[in-house]
Each structure stands twice: as structure tokens, then as C-alpha cells.
Amino acid sequence: MTDRDQGTYPPTEKMLAQPVPDDVAKGQEERLRKVWAQPPGWRYWSAVNNTEVGVWYCLTATFFMLLAGILALLMRVQLAVPENDFLDADRYNQFFTMHGSAMMFLFAVPIFEAISILILPSLLGARDMPFPRLSAYGFWCFVIGGIFVMGSILFDAAPNAGWFMYPPLSTEHGGIGTDIWLLGLSFIEVASIAAAVELIVGVLKCRPPGMRVNIMPLYAWYVLVVGGMIVFAFPPLIAGDFLLEMQRSFDWPFFDPERGGDPMLWQHLFWIFGHPEVYIIFLPSIAVTAMIIPTAARRPIVGYSWIVLSAVGTGFLSFGLWVHHMFATGLPSISLGFFSAASEAVVLPTGIQIFAFVATLMVGRVRMIHPMLWIAGALAIFVAGGLTGVMVAIVPFDWQVHDTYFIVAHLHYTVFGGMLFPVIGGIYYFYPVIAKKQLSERLGRWAFWLAFTGFNVTFLPMHLTGMRGMPRRVFTYPGDLGWNWLNMISTIGAFVMATGLLIFVYDLLRPKGKQPDPPRNPWDAGTLEWTHNVPAESWGIRSIPYVNTRYPLWQQPKMQQRIDAGRYYLPDAQEGKRETLVTSVIDAHPLHVQRVTGPAWITIWAAVFTGGAFIFPTFHWYPPAIVSAVLAVACVIYWNWTSTAEIPEAETKDAGLGLRLPLYVSGPDAVGWWAVWITMLADATAFSSLVFSVFFYWTASTQFPPQGAGFANPVLMAIGTGLVVASWALTAWARRDAGRGAMAALAVAMLAACAGGGVLILALWLPDMDPTAHVYPAMMWALVVWVIVHLIAGVVLQGYCLAGLAFGKITRRYDAPLWNSLLFWHFLCLTVLVTGAMVAIAPRLMT
Amino acid sequence: MRRNIFGWWAARVGLLIGPAGCAGNQSMFSPAGVDALATLNLFWVMLAGAVVIWFALNGLFLYVTRIHVGKMSRRLAEAVIIGGGILFPLVVLSALLIYSLPMMGEQRAPDDGLRVRVTAERWWWRVEYWPDGATAPIIAANELRLPVDQRTEIELTAGEVIHSFWIPALGGKTDMFPGRITRMTLAPSETGTFRGQCAEFCGLSHALMAIPAVIMEPAAFDGWLREQALPATSSGAGRAVFLREGCGACHAVRGTPAAGRVGPDLTHLGGRTALAAGILPMTADALRAWITNPEAIKPGAEMPAYDHLDESDLAALAAYLMGLK
Amino acid sequence: MSHDKQTSDARQFAEESASLTRITAAPLAWAAHFALCYGAAAVWCVKWPGPIGQMLPLRVGLGVATVVALAIIGWLGWRSWQQWDLLDDYDYEHEMGVGEDRHEFLGHAAFLLSIVSFVGVFFTSLPLIFAATCR
């Protein structure tokens, strides 16, 4: 019991057994329905509910998957026979680049976020995600970025340097395609991080009361781990994109060996992202499997702790594998050995997960529901992919098969078995929750057997093709090397597989209007998502239950009825506001009632302008890009000002079951503060990647900094850093005071920050450090540019708080924006101090 | 180098999966080098293990979902997690690491005297031979020749973009970076011609960048290398065409005024096994096709098309080049 | 679940606000050891490349680091084993929504993570013995 909430918690059995009068329940239902209703007509697209945005997100990702699949089929046609001229070299290169990029960035990662946004709230008995408008914003960013990147192929301008975009090929010969890839996908990566932040906060803070960490659904554990991995894995790529784009646009020579740059740095940054990425797309599928297996076995999972260990362990180990994509780069044997060893170590957690599933099936009484067919297929495929993975993690073997069709086979075995098949199984499983209809089992069997057979016919021979010497990414091959019939078989298989997947997509999309409503819990599962309403209700869950078992529908038999009766928490919406419950991280103790945002167009506008800020620079149209960026910031400010941290009409409200909870909290109790904290971890990771780059250049070259190079002006660096630190201190003081004095402090802080930024620029400008001359000045400038961009954001936040105080949106009691801005400034202060040291001190020590 | 116990299997399976092409084989299944053979044996070991594990795991899954669907003992299930998830992989993977880690050092062992520097260009190969004690290299292109039964160091670098050097029958691959030197060593164990190919995507004609590796007896190799060091001997009408058309701006033919460094050295072109980085046979017809329109054969190639040459000039030029033995 | 039980839980197993991060201690030890090995070898091979004998200081240094890492992970494992407290009730499911189950579950998960981290560090040390060369 904390000191803020008042009343009884946890609820007693007596309280729960008390019936809710019918007329009361009716009134509650009507009010809830009204508050959560979707906007009608064309306004439908302004919806932000997880149930709507999640569906759009899934369908869009599926659409991109189909496009990328078509590219694959066209490539298979080209490779069916030797010396084919169906596609020319450039088009083929565009196709394989886009196939890989789209499958990774427009399908595999987004579909995880889409499915999670769609079902996580129902798994946790929550009304919605904590920040619905953020999900909508992320979705629209994804749509705009995806269409931009994918559309480039119609103009014959698509990226063509492979999905790892290795410089110098991508810098010297990429054409506009490289810029499209860098800026378009960075845009989508930012949206991915936003979704990850939201999912993490959702799992940590939006669980139903009583759902302690030891009983939360395994899916939620995986979301937590994968979200964390995204937060730490994507930023290095964003940092890499930043450096590569600076070279493309402004000729800063980060990857140009003639001016001290090093193409290897990109490979490191790309694969520090790229290997965790593999597990980012694999773990969610295991999560889906972890929901299906207990239902099929009709008993709780065996080895819950084992699976949690596997998820967390895989999350960690996956960050120590990246160099196994670089075994052929000529690194020292001992270094390769470390990564080979770590790559084998990750087998343990992966194996444990699979054996925990098998153990559950052993102990249970199994019934082969249809989704299990896909899971069985996935297991057969994934285990094969995992075993070839063990092989390619062995360095000498990888020296042979690296960059051959053996790798193409291996990676497709892992992604089909470790991602696509379980996801499809999951869609069959969750479809009744999502669409309130069922998919056809008959079509499902056809789809499965065609896809499964076709898959193996396509990819099993590729192991052999690769070992017989065929490199990947070749648009043609001679007819006398023994590859002809292998390629022909693969092409035939690809079309068989495509037929199977098309049947699935047809089943997914065909109108099912006449189909009767399915049973509410068709698989007889035990978790909360199956308390959904059939036919659909927009409120998510009628009342938020008190949960104290892992499989509440099995272990708390009266739960369904009590949820429906509105017996539990937040059964009403008296004030006409959308609300969900926020609980504590470990034990899910109810903390406060969170008002969540409703339908809005502003999120779409924000996405459009953010898109402009990323897309215009592709064509070197900088003025419209800057205008777009300013408008995007304006939209985000408007959206925050009008709908977040609103001062409530009362201090507390009756949350049901005799519990009164606060309506406004700030600081670490608030979900917004957690979101900022996690976002800043991602931001700090990107910055660390830049710092890593400095040390990388130092270890990789004797010319960093080059002989006789100038240094940043130390006095100016110290002054600039000092001004920014002063700005931080003033912001901290303003948070404490939160009154009239705070306004003055914030005004001075803004001036200090601007002045500090200017002085930092001068510190490099005056010694005439030319960023195009050598990688050393370029790297110093990159750090300072990074700081300047953050300073701009920091000043905007200070201004927001100043305005909030001036207009009474922020007061001593209602001070959440001050807490959140200060948290941002803590990180910014640290960033500036490190930058000061890296720019003013480190180079002097390195010479 | 004699094949060991796996050789029999390799030969058997080789009937089914082994390759043969006129440009030499490019398959890992017919190793002709110490390293390739060691890696192939490693593969057979891993494959055998993988097949057993795959059938065991999927068999178990099938058994518990289709055959014995009823409840089984909880203790047994936990034994499966601990045994299958921790103990078994711990033992097997430790063994595999201990088996494979020392192989890196063996495959990167120092050379026995010869050093060859290969520079990858878009899309062909500069090859320079540095015998023990040499002060200047012997320059060739688009073909690698090595003596059998001795280890040679291959020093790798690249002109503009990243490539990767790979001759599957001899050993693994190593990437080639502009502005950086990477090293590998190869120890051929059989004579013959083996095909290699660029393995890192390098742009438009990545698919058309091969290299024949000719493995010779040491004595024959020494003789060949001595000849390579000599200037060109060919003459005839084609020589004038060659010089008149400005071919020497890009190509070198030692012993003539042609001393270009942009394109491949042609001093002993006619003696090589293939043309245009392993994609055309070394014939007069192929030469003529190439000279007339390189772009049609290798998209993006930097050599301009000499489609204005008349029939007699072309014939003379081809004959001259073929004569550069 | 009786009300009394809940309140007694509240006394005995007050919410461990840091415990979610505590289960990551062992993997973090693995990560630190791994980063140290990788970083030290990378710098060593750039600054002092040479024959195998000259790597002895590096190998000994990282060997000591390995022993330290294994000891830390072993200690973490022992602590989480005590938190799991298997032998008091032979509970390895922890499936009830009570403080004791949550407390023991976090111990159990941390213990298993220590095992995996231990194996990870052990694997990472193998190249120090079997592939200790900068070539």
C-alpha cells in the first residue's frame, strides 16, 4: 500500500463476489462504448486505438512482404537457367537489395511491433497501449517511409548496393538509391524505436493489478526483451546511417580510405545492429509459440523460468555475435575465435526454449489444433537453420561458405522457421481475437503443405548450390559449373511456396461476412486475450481484472463472468475520458489512472512532416527539409500540449472495487517519464556508437589524428561545455521550484544553451578544422553536430516548459513535463561532457 | 596430400554432387588444397552430427504430438530440458570449438617463400608475384598460378570497392579492401585448373569476376614465372593497331611503348587460360567480341568499345594479342 | 488467495524495485568479460602484432580476467540459488501471484542466467588456449 492511493487493495473475495446491478452495468457499458467508439466515416483514419492501428500496421507490413516476395520470384526466374537475360544486372541488383531491405525493415521488424500493438493490451487486460497517438504516429511514419523506399523501384532508382549497404560501393556507386535507403530506412528505424519504447512501457507499467512479473504471459516477457534489444541495437545503425549520409551529402570522409576513413567501421556498426536484429525478428515468433504450446498441451507451460532465462540470455548474447558476419574480413584469429565461441554459446538459450516447449507437450495431453501444424513445420525448418548456424559459426567452414548460396539457404531456414511460419501459426491462433472470425482450416492445410514443401524444395538444394561454389548476389552464372539443375529446382520450389502463401493471404483477406461468430475462446486457452468480446466492442476489456495466476481463465474460473459484469477496475467512464490503469513494475500494484489520448489527425500531420524532413534531403532539397522538420516539431508540440499531462478535474478518482487512485502523477511514477528514460537510453546508445567510432579509427589507423592536425580550441570547448552544463543546472533548479522563479531560470537556461551551442561550433570553426579534409576533423564535427541537434531539442523542451508555466499548464502539483524535460537534459548534459572530453582532450592523448 | 577416411565418402557423394566445368571446378566437394580438404572433413563431421540431431529433435516432437499424446512424467520432461538444452550442447559445442579453433592458425600458417599480391579492380584482378628475395614484382593479371605442395601467401587489396578472393577448391575466402591489406595463405595439394570467383558483392558485374587458378609442379611453375618476367615477343600488324588505337594508355605490354596501368597487364595475355577475368575462353573470336563491345559482355566495364575497327584490323589485333604468350 | 496471506507477503517480500535489473547481473558480467577480451585482443593485435610467444601477457591477463568473471558469476549464481531457495519447498514453478513466488522466481531466473553466462564465459576463454594468434 503506498501513501497516495486510498482504499482496499487487493480486493477480497467477498468484494469480488458482490454482483453488479444490471442497470448500473448497462449505463457503464453505454458510457464506455461512447468514449471508445471509432470515429465514423472518413474520420475513421484518425483513429489511434491499438485495435485499429494494429490491424492497419499488420496489413501494411504484409503488403510489403508480398511486394518483396514478388521481387524474389522475379529473381528466381532470372536464375532459373544460366546466362539468362530476363533481368539485367542493375535491375537484378536493385531487386535483391530491396528484397532484403524490405523483408527486414518493412516486414520482419514492423510485423512484430504490429502484432504486439494489436494483442499486447488484450494479453495484459489493458484498454489500450499507454501512448495510442505514438503508435499511430509510428504507423504513419512506417507507411510513408515504406512507400517511399519501395516506390523507388518503379523509377528504376532503388538502392542497389545490397541490404548491408557496404561502403565504398554504396558511397561511390550507389546513386540516389543509397540516399533513399539511408534516409528512408532511418525514418522507419526511428518509428521502430518509438514503437519499442511504447511496448516496453506497456509491459512494465500497464499490466493488470496483481499480475506480478512471475505470472505475466511469456509473450510479454519476450516483448520486454525484444523491445530492449531494439533500443540498444537500432541506434548503432542510425549512427552509421548518420555518418554514411554525411559522407554522401557533404563529403565527410568517414569511409574513404584515402582520407583516413575506413569501410570496416560501417561493417561493425551495421552488424552490431544486424545480428541482434536476427534475434529481434526471431524471439517474437518464439513468444507466439509460447502462447500456442500450452493451449495445445492443455496445461501451463513447463519451465516458465527456463523460458524467461532463454529470452533474457539470448537478448544479451546476441550482442556478442556481430563479427561472425565479418569472419572473412581478415581480422586476427583470436578475435574471430571470441565471436565463434559466443555464436556457439547462443545455442544454449535457443535450445532451452525449444526443449521447454517439447517438455510442455510431453507433460500435457496434446491436441493438434491447426496453428500447431505451422509450429511443427517451423520447428522442422528452424532446427535445420539452427544447425547450419552452428556450422557457419565455425570460422574455417564460414571462410568457405560465407557469401555463398549456403548462407542464403541458412538464413532463409532461420527466418522461415524462426519467423514466418510461427507468425502465420500465430495469426491462425489469434485471428478470432483480432477479427472475430475464424480462418479456414481446410485452406490452412493447403497453404501449409504447399508453403512447407515449396520452401524446402527451394532452399534445401541451395546448401548444395553454395557448396558447389555459387556466390550470392550474382545476376547470372555460367552453365558449366554444375549449378543449372539446382537453380531450376529452387525456382520451381519458389513458385510452389508462393502459391501456398497466396492461399493464406487469400484466406486472411476474403470477406467472411456470412460466417457465424466464432466461440469466444475457440481453442480453450487460459490467457486474458480470450476474454475479448464477440462481437467486437471497442473498449478493449470491459473491466480490468485482478489477476493472480498465469492462466487466469483456467485458474480463476469466475474471472470471465466478473470482467463482463464490470466487477473489476475501471468499469465506467463517468468523465467521458479514455482511461487505463497504470501499475508498478514488479508487483503490478495499482498506481494511478492514466488518461490516454483519442482520435486525432495531428499524428498524421506530424508523420507527414517528419517524412518530409527525411525524404527531401534525398534529393538535396534542404530548405523544404528544414521547413518540414520545423513543422513536424510544431505538430508534436501541439499534440503534446493539447492532449498529454492535462490537469485533471479532481485529484483522485474511484477506480472500482473501493480503490481511489490519483489521476495525475509525475516523475518516475508516470508512464511518460519511463518513455523518455527508455528513449534516452536508445539515444545514448547511438551517441556511444559515435564515441566507439573515434576509438575504432584510433585503433585501426596510425593516422588518427594525422600528423600535424589541428585541435579544437580548448578554451572555447570548455566555455561551451560549461554553458550547456549551466543550462542543465538551471533546468534542474526550475524543476524543483516550478513557480515564477522557474520561468526566469528556464529563460536564462535557453539562452545559455543557445550560446553554448554557438561556442562549441566556434571551437571547431576557429582552428579551421575542415571536415572534408580528413576523417579526424569530420569525426570531431560529427560529435558536435550531434550535440547541436540535441541542444535544439533541449531548448524546445525548455521553451515548452516555460510556456506551460506561463499558461498554467504546468504548476507545482502538475509538473510532469518539467520532470520529463529534465530527464532529457540529464542525458544531454552527459553527452556534452563526453563530447567535450572526446573533442578537446582525447585527440591530444591519441597522437 | 592423401585423402583421409572421409575421402571415400567424398568420392561417393561426389558422383552425385561433384562438379566439372571446362573453366575448372569451383566446388568445395573436390578439394585440391590442404585447407579445403580440412574444411570439407570438418563439414562431414558437422553434417553427420546435424542430421542425427535434426532427426532426434523432430522425431521427439512428432512422438509427443502424434504418437504419445497423453501425459508423460514431469521428471522426464525436465530431464529433457536440462539434458537437451544445457548438457548436450555444452559437451558437443565444446568439442566442436576445440576441434575447429586451431584450424584457423593452420590455415593461416606462414608461406614457404612465395608471396602473391592480388588487387581486385572493377571487375578484374591484378596479380603480382613476389618470389623470395624479389625486389620488384612479376606482373600478370586475371589468373593465379601456384606451385603445388607448398604454402603461398596471398596478399589482398582492392582498388575502389570491397571484393572477396575465393578459390573453393583450395581454401576459404578473404575480403579485399581498398586502402587495407588482408592476408591469406593457400597450400594446393593437386595440380590442375580450379575456378575462383569474387564473393563479395562489388557492383554491376559482380557475377562476371572470376579467376582461374592453375596449380603446377614447382619446377614447371618456376619456369613459367621466369617467362612471365620477360618482355613480350609477339609482333605483326596487330602490334601497330594496338599502339595506334591508344590501347597502351590503359594496358601495359612490356617491351613495347604500351605502359598503361589502368587495365590489366597484357604482356603474356595469350598464355592465360581465360579472358576478361575468367568469363571468356582465350580465343581469337572471344578477343574480337570483347574488343568490339566490352559493355555487352561485362556491364559497366570501363574499357571503351572499339566497334569502329574494320575486319582486318580486328583480326590482326586479335592475332597479335593471342601471340602474347 | 486469502487476504491475510497477501499482507504477510507484503511484509516478507517487499517489492524489490531493483530486482528486474538484478537478474541481468550475470549476463552483464559475461558482456563485460567479452568486451574486455575483444577490445584487448583488437588493440594488442594492432599495436603489437607478432609471433605467438609475444601474446603471453595478453593471454595471461585475459586468463586472469576469465577466472575473475567466472568467480563473480559463480557468486551471483550462489546468491540467486539462495534467493530461489529450492530446498525449502521444492518449488520451481512459482506460478502464484504472491510475493514469495515472485521473489523465488526472480532468484530462479537469475540462477539459470548465471549458468548460461558461466558457459558463455567458458566458451569465450577457449580461443585464449586454442586460437591465440594475431595472424
Report, as an integer, the average pLDDT of A417-442: 95
List of residues 6+ apart from B116 with CB closer than 8 A: B127, B128, B129, B130, B144, B146, B152, B153, B154, B155
Name the grid cell of B168: 573453393
* B59 interfacial to chain C (CB closer than 8 Å): no
3-state secondary structure of A652: strand
State the DSSP string of A208-267. Answer: PTT--TTTS-HHHHHHHHHHHHHHHHHHHHHHHHHHHHHHHHH---TT-GGGT--HHHHH
Question: Are residues A586 and C19, on separate chains, in Cβ contact within 8 Å?
Answer: yes
Question: Are residues B279 and A478, on separate chains, in Cβ contact within 8 Å?
Answer: yes
Give Cα separations from A363 to A293, A354, B60, B65, C94 (angstroms): 12, 15, 13, 11, 18
Report, as an integer, the average pLDDT of A103-114: 94
With contact defined as beta carbons under 8 Å apart, do A15 and A8 qualify?
yes
The subunits that touch chain B, with at least 3 C-beta pairs less than 8 Å apart, are A, C
Query: Looking at chain A, which residue has its C-alpha nearest residue C105?
Result: A214
Distance from CA of C80 to the nearest CA of B (A): 18
Report, as an integer, the average pLDDT of A101-107: 95
Name the grid cell of B142: 586475371
3-state secondary structure of A403: coil
Cis peptide before A208 (omega within 30 of 0): no
Report, as an integer, the average pLDDT of C21-47: 91
Residue range A776-807, pLDDT digits in tens = 999 999 999 999 999 999 999 999 999 999 99
- Return the closest-CA partner of residue A141 out of A576, A485, A613, A575: A613
With contact defined as beta carbons under 8 Å apart, do A170 and A176 qualify?
no
Query: Looking at chain A, which residue has its C-alpha nearest residue C41?
Result: A335
| 643-662 of A, contacting C, C-beta below 8 A | none
Same domain (yes/no): B198, B244? no
Same domain (yes/no): B249, B219? no
3-state secondary structure of A302: coil
Out of A247-256, B5-14, C99-108, pick the least confident: B5-14
Report, as an integer, the average pLDDT of A328-342: 95
Q: Which residues of chain B lie closer than 8 angstroms to C113, CB-CB? A: none
B289 lies in which domain range? 237-322
Question: Are residues C23 and A214, on separate chains, in Cβ contact within 8 Å?
Answer: no
Report, as an integer, the average pLDDT of A289-311: 95
With contact defined as beta carbons under 8 Å apart, do A243 and A782 qualify?
yes
Distance from CA of B170 to the nearest CA of C (A): 19
Query: Looking at chain A, which residue has its C-alpha nearest residue C119?
Result: A345
DSSP class of residue B165 equals E
- What dihedral do alpha carbons A455, A345, A319, A177 form, nearest 10°? -30
Q: Which has more pLDDT, C127 or B236?
A: C127
Q: Which residues pair with A7 in a beta bridge?
A: A659
Per-residue pLDDT at A559: 92
Per-residue pLDDT at A218: 96
- Return the closest-CA partner of residue A87 out of A499, A481, A479, A474: A474
- What dihedral do alpha carbons A420, A425, A429, A435 form, nearest 10°? 50
Question: Are residues C97 and A586, on separate chains, in Cβ contact within 8 Å?
Answer: no
Question: Are residues C97 and A212, on separate chains, in Cβ contact within 8 Å?
Answer: yes
* Prediction pTM value: 0.94
Residue range B7-25, pLDDT digits in tens = 444 444 444 444 444 446 8
Per-residue pLDDT at B98 exceeds 50: yes
Residue A590: HSE in the Cβ half-sphere, 13 Å Cα cutoff:
34
Residue with cell 561454389: A469
Helices first, then strands: H and E counts in chain C: 6, 0
Q: What CA–CA distance (Å, rounded) separates A322 from A692? A: 15
Name the grid cell of A752: 545559455
| 9-38 of C, contacting B, C-beta below 8 A | none
Interface test with A, best of C123, C128, C133, C134 (most A CBs within 10 A): C123
Rg of chain A over all Cα atoms, to the nearest angstrom: 27
Neighbours of A523 (CB within 10 A): 20
Given B86, B102, B108, which is nearest C135 (Cβ)?
Answer: B108
Q: Which residues of chain A lie closer than 8 angstroms to C25, CB-CB? A: none
Residue A576 φ then ψ, to 5°: 70, 30
Domains belonging to chain A, first-starting first, are: 50-509 (1.20.210.10), 675-846 (1.20.120.80)
Q: What CA–CA distance (Å, rounded) separates A177 from A30? A: 53
Give the percent of chain C with pLDDT over 90: 52
What average pLDDT does chain A have? Answer: 94
Question: Are residues B81 and A355, on separate chains, in Cβ contact within 8 Å?
Answer: yes
Angle between helix A333-345 and C25-47 (nearest 10): 160
Question: Are residues B94 and C126, on separate chains, in Cβ contact within 8 Å?
Answer: yes
Distance from CA of A55 to the nearest CA of B (A): 32
Give Cα separations from A128 to A122, A203, A206 (angstroms): 8, 12, 9
Interface test with C, best of A211, A302, A334, A674 (most C CBs within 10 A): A334
Per-residue pLDDT at C134 exceeds 50: yes
Give the number of domains in chain B: 2
* A316 interfacial to chain C (CB closer than 8 Å): yes
The subunits that touch chain C, with at least 3 C-beta pairs less than 8 Å apart, are A, B
Given B61, B173, B195, which is nearest A358 (Cβ)?
Answer: B61
Return the domain boundaries, chain C: 56-135
Q: How confident is the model at residue C132 (pLDDT cuts 50, 70, 90)?
A: confident
3-state secondary structure of A438: coil
Per-residue pLDDT at C20: 77
3-state secondary structure of A771: coil
Given C115, C123, C135, which is nearest B97 (Cβ)?
Answer: C123
Per-residue pLDDT at B325: 86
- Return the closest-CA partner of residue A416 out of A461, A448, A368, A463: A448
Same domain (yes/no): B266, B210? no
| 524-583 of A, contacting C, C-beta below 8 A | 547-550
Q: How confident is the model at residue C85 (pLDDT cuts 50, 70, 90)?
A: confident
Residue with cell 513557480: A739
Same domain (yes/no): B203, B311? no
Residue range A171-228, pLDDT digits in tens = 888 789 999 999 999 989 988 999 999 999 999 999 999 999 999 999 999 999 999 9
Give the percent of chain B with pLDDT over 70: 93
Q: What CA–CA distance (Å, rounded) separates A418 from A381? A: 8
Q: How confident is the model at residue C3 (pLDDT cuts 50, 70, 90)?
A: very low
Q: Which residues of chain C lie closer than 8 angstroms to A350, CB-CB? A: none
Distance from CA of B64 to the nearest CA of C (A): 22
Name the grid cell of A131: 501512448
Question: Are residues C126 and A548, on separate chains, in Cβ contact within 8 Å?
Answer: no
With contact defined as beta carbons under 8 Å apart, do A117 and A57 qualify?
yes
Question: Are residues B101 and C123, on separate chains, in Cβ contact within 8 Å?
Answer: no
Name the grid cell of C60: 595471461
- Return the closest-CA partner of residue A153 out of A94, A213, A80, A221: A94
Interface test with A, best of C16, C56, C59, C113 (most A CBs within 10 A): C113
With contact defined as beta carbons under 8 Å apart, do B49 and B92 qualify?
yes
Q: What CA–CA distance (Å, rounded) separates A236 from A181? A: 16
Question: Are residues C99 and A212, on separate chains, in Cβ contact within 8 Å?
Answer: yes
Name the grid cell of B261: 596501368
Residue range B212-238, pLDDT digits in tens = 999 999 999 999 999 999 999 888 899
Residue range A684-712, pLDDT digits in tens = 999 999 999 999 999 888 788 998 888 99
Give Cα separations from A529 to A57, A587, A720 (angstroms): 19, 20, 53
Q: Which residues pair with A652 in a beta bridge?
A: A662
Q: Which residues of chain B lie closer than 8 angstroms to A309, CB-CB? A: none
Q: What CA–CA distance (Å, rounded) separates A457 from A450? A: 10
Same domain (yes/no): B167, B285? no
Given C95, C99, C127, which is nearest A587 (Cβ)?
Answer: C99
What average pLDDT does chain B have? Answer: 91
CATH number at residue B27: 2.60.40.420
- Start-to-end CA distance of chain C, whole Å, equals 64
Given C6, C116, C135, which is nearest A348 (Cβ)?
Answer: C116
Residue range A353-380, pLDDT digits in tens = 999 999 999 999 999 999 999 999 999 9
Report, as an integer, the average pLDDT of B118-123: 96
Per-residue pLDDT at B297: 94
Out of A12-21, A270-279, B50-59, C47-56, pick the least confident: C47-56
B228, B259, B289 - which closes a domain:
B228
Contacts 24+ apart (CB under 8 A), A385-388: A385/A410, A385/A411, A385/A412, A385/A413, A385/A414, A385/A415, A385/A416, A385/A417, A385/A418, A386/A347, A386/A350, A386/A414, A387/B50, A387/B53, A387/B54, A388/A413, A388/A463, A388/B50
Question: Are residues C131 and B105, on separate chains, in Cβ contact within 8 Å?
Answer: yes
- Return the closest-CA partner of residue A580 out of A639, A653, A637: A653
Q: What CA–CA distance (Å, rounded) separates A753 from A625? A: 24
Pairing state between β B124-130 and B114-121: antiparallel
The answer to whether position B87 is within a domain reads no
Query: Residue A162 — left, alpha, or beta (φ > 0 → left; ψ -120 to 50 → alpha)?
Result: left
Rg of chain C over all Cα atoms, to the nearest angstrom: 20
Same domain (yes/no): B186, B247? no
Q: Which residues of chain B lie closer than 8 angstroms to A347, CB-CB? A: 89, 93
Per-residue pLDDT at A627 exceeds 70: yes
DSSP class of residue B148 equals T
Q: Which residues of chain C lie closer than 8 angstroms to A359, CB-CB? A: none
Q: What CA–CA distance (Å, rounded) separates B276 from B266? A: 11
B228, B245, B267 - which closes a domain:
B228
Q: Which residues of chain B lie closer than 8 angstroms to C127, CB-CB? A: 101
Report, as an integer, the average pLDDT of A335-348: 95
Per-residue pLDDT at A514 exceeds 70: yes
* B86 interfacial to chain C (CB closer than 8 Å): yes
| 43-102 of C, contacting B, C-beta below 8 A | none
Per-residue pLDDT at C16 exceeds 70: no
B174, B206, B228 - which closes a domain:
B228
Distance from CA of B284 to the nearest CA of A (A): 20
Question: Are residues C120 and A342, on separate chains, in Cβ contact within 8 Å?
Answer: yes
**How many cross-chain Cβ pairs, A to C, lie less than 8 Å apart?**
154
Question: Are residues B58 and A172, on separate chains, in Cβ contact within 8 Å?
Answer: no
